[in-house]
Amino acid sequence: MLRRAASSYSTSSNALGFGLYRVTPRETVQFREKHAPGTIIVRQREKRLYYVNGDGTAIRYAIAVGREGAAWAGVSSVSDKREWPDWTPTPNILAKQPDLPRFVEGGPANPMGARALYLGATMYRIHGTNEPWRIGEEVSSGCIRLSNDDIVDLYNRTRLGATVIVQR
């Protein structure tokens, strides 16, 4: 109900000041789709990411996704993994937010959070966040955000080269 009210005012339920921040805990769920173990499935509409275990189950994580016009879909693979990654805003981001710093060193204040999985040769990442209350929202420039606890868990499970399927 608060999300609906918040959307009427172009804000989030968290921004209404009700102290409702709550991240859905990751959980192991039944997963009957046929994918190789270690595959990552992102369902943007659902705002969930699934890490396929291969035994008929997957680990389900709550995520934040790209805002309208920034979300993307497709297949990629994990090309790099970094702990406490640095962040350099892209020219598109700087055009929309010119007051942003040109570089943010990795650490707790960094928007990339505690870990990042780099997707192919793109600028898209699956990463943590310094705004965990935004999980469940459409807020990014196309990246997939998880709570820092969840990205550390996913990072530790994921191998380089893992397939990532991003669905609308």
For residue range 107-145, what is the model confidence (pLDDT) as tens digits? 999 999 999 999 999 999 999 999 999 999 999 989 999
> What's the pLDDT score for residue 22?
61
pLDDT band with cut points at 50, 70 and 90 for residue 43: very high
Q: What is the pTM of this model?
A: 0.84
Is there a catalytic annotation at residue 55?
no
pLDDT band with cut points at 50, 70 and 90 for residue 71: confident
> What's the pLDDT score for residue 21?
52
Query: Pick the catalytic residue: 47, 48, 60, 127?
Result: 127
Token pair, residue 53, equals: 């275990």
Nearest 10 degrees: CA dihedral of 120, 125, 127, 131? 180
pLDDT above 70: residue 15: no
52 is in which domain, residue-wise?
A: 2-167
Chain centroid to Cα 3, Å, comes to: 19
- Rounded Cα distance, 77 and 117, in Å: 9
> What's the pLDDT score for residue 23?
64
Average pLDDT, the chain: 89
CATH number of 20's domain: 2.40.440.10
Which has the higher per-residue pLDDT, 20 or 39?
Answer: 39
* Residue matched to tokens 């990411």: 49
The mean pLDDT value for 64-85 works out to 93
How many domains does the structure of the chain reveal? 1
pLDDT band with cut points at 50, 70 and 90 for residue 158: very high
Q: Count other C-beta atoms under 10 Å from residue 156's C-beta.
A: 9
pLDDT band with cut points at 50, 70 and 90 for residue 24: confident
Which has the higher per-residue pLDDT, 15 or 96?
Answer: 96
The mean pLDDT value for 23-45 works out to 95
- Rounded Cα distance, 18 and 82, in Å: 35
Is there a catalytic annotation at residue 143?
yes
Query: Pick the catalytic residue: 59, 117, 143, 146?
Result: 143
3-state class (DSSP) for residue 65:
strand
pLDDT above 60: residue 39: yes
User: What is the percent of the chain where pLDDT is above 70?
Assistant: 86
Contacts of 147 (CB under 8 A, 6+ apart): 23, 62, 128, 129, 132, 135
